[in-house]
Structure 1
Amino acid sequence: MASEPGFLPRDGLDRLIEVLRRDGREVIGPRVRDGAIVYAPIATAADLPTGVRDAQSPGAYALNAASSAERQFAWANGPQALKPLVFSPRERLWTSWHAPANGLHFGAAAHTTRPTAVIGVRACDLAALDLQDRHFLREPYADPAYRARRESLFLVAVHCTHPADTCFCVSTGDGPEAAKGFDLALHEIDAGFVVTSGSNAGAEVLASLPLAVPAEAQRDEARAGVAAAAAAQTRRLPARDLRPALLARIEDPHWQVVAERCLSCGNCTAVCPTCFCNAEIEEPVSDGSVSEHFRQWDSCFTAGHSRLHGIVVRADTLARYRQWLIHKLATWHDQYGRSGCVGCGRCIAWCPVGIDLTAEVAVLCDDGEGVAP
């Protein structure tokens, strides 16, 4: 349910947080922790990263003072997205136990959730959440734990105005302005926020806020901020389906060039907002009477992820990097009708050796559409 824009003064942000707490919601927002911007519970607007800017480049992430000392969202992204809030890094799926009188039993884990509002969601992360939904909510095998968490979320998007050097969401069609998937969306300008709703729940929250009609100059500033963010991006992926080009280059010698740099550490998959590889683990008690079955995040860069009947199918880094890139950019089209990359650039910044996905694709596809000159 889209609404006419309203203007929320910067000092009205605490009122928004207060309204979001209704119905027992926990409010989560960006906070500075351990030298990065991460999602964590917030109590007031004072908890947000006011006057903070991120600087990102291949293999590097740092926080600095922003040019605007008042803005709370003058940054691109941190190592997290929404993924940990819906696809738990580790969770129990079921418990099995043996009863001497009547044999083996199984019991599904209970899924308890708390209504949660998230402030500061980026357009690229809403696009990633849509892809996670397509995977975990696909019928007839929808994941009940994911569904429970997903349905508990109230999402407050903030359109991006300060992309990092590693961002390329324009070329994937996923930003910098959020188009859908949010309950509320904010354009941050110097004086405050131009606010719109995107759902009935968002419209209800909007009705409780001290909004004014935004002046035309404020609307212009909001539009200009997003336009500047789009124009500032220099990295890109080719604007086409990469499936044919990448599958035709399975044996390209450049895979070895990348493999010689890659550490197979899995950082790129950990920070990627769309990756969903996981491992299944049994943890029995010492007497064997009870065993708990867990699902936890894994990576296609680990040897165990491709182990089948005692054989590691992808035994070297070349095979693992190739699997990750081709699945992400090519064969996702077969599964979900689009690439699995939303252009957030996290895999570039958080790679210890600074491997740049856009640059590698430009070489492999031989069309120079990766990093702009």
Structure 2
Amino acid sequence: MRWIVPIIILLAIEVYAFQAFKTLFKFWWSLGIYTGITAVVVGLLIYSFYESSPNVSLTGFRAYMGGIFLSLLLLKLSVVFWMFGEDIIRLLVYAYRKLFTTSTENLPSRRKFISTIALGLGAIPFLSLLYGMYKGKYNFKVLSYELEFDNLPEAFDGYTITQLSDIHSGSFDNTEKIEYAINLVNEQESDVILFTGDLVNNLADEMTPWTPLFSQLKAEDGVFSILGNHDYGDYYNFESQTDKQQNFEDLVNVHSDLGWDLLRNERRELVRGDSKLHLIGVENWGKGGFKKAGDFEKAADGVEAADFKILMSHDPSHWDEVIQHHKKDVQLTLSGHTHGMQFGIEIPGWFKWSPVQYRYEQWAGIYENAKRFINVNRGFGFLAYPGRVGIWPEVTVIKLKRKSKTEV
């Protein structure tokens, strides 16, 4: 019963889109090709949901069919937008003639150039999504920032952090590309590597084939990590609570196998001589129905407001709701979670847009409030849609700088 409304909507879109093709292509064989492609894609998409999935998520063949279906759907939606607009104008013209003139003309026919424009514009998202699946998902970018702080200990002036987030290892399908990305991270030669959650999609063993590669990540002060919402197994239908708990324990052990120091509402000290930074890591805390296991008060116990602190918290809504105004004055928060929706338009330094910005105020890059910063990493991997368009997989490098007294 729940599928009736979506099916009716999809059929309505299909009818409108078909009219555009019918206007442009008069030959039966061209319309047959269009209908055949649609039927094959829909059929394979339905078939993919009857095939077993290794972690019962939108990955592999199922994800690719979903991506192709989405590409076609956006093409048709663009067509529907233009065609529907033209139909409104046609009806208004027809009504005007009937009411205010003696014309006996029928409803004006659709114009071919409108259909051509609709298909041309619709081809842009269609081809972009196909490119995103073919190339975009592994189009790794290093984004570098330099942030100044009044109270950064002098010994840490120039200290560099590489941040990774949202690996989602269960979605990977290209060992060579991941090996390239690991080498890219190590080439940054940062002082510390920080991973801000979502190692897997659902199950701990998704990481098994990738552990040898990710265990190669190295930094002078080590690799530290936290948990994201996907790491708890909440989106998988386990046979029992015992199985779910075992999967979670296995996931925690994976961090150890990688040689990463997992912070679960706790902190570590990064030391340079007599100076130190407090590295705080909390479990997932997110608004809007996401798990709130993060306990900043516990993790930051014993830390003073004047101390320099770096907080790792997976969901940026934690910073928005709690951290940016907290009395303990967290100078830098590192988050992920949003993926930048894996789709958007970004011209560095000029323009940045993605539909996810209507859900998260802080969704990609650096944000500041009263000298308190947050970086929202766009994510290393991908989930559901097996690609990225405009919002590329990210390796963040942040250099900490001490603001000179003359600047303060």
* TM bucket normalised to smaller: under 0.3
TM-score by length of 1: 0.27
TM-score by length of 2: 0.25
Whose strand fraction is larger, Structure 1's or Structure 2's? 1
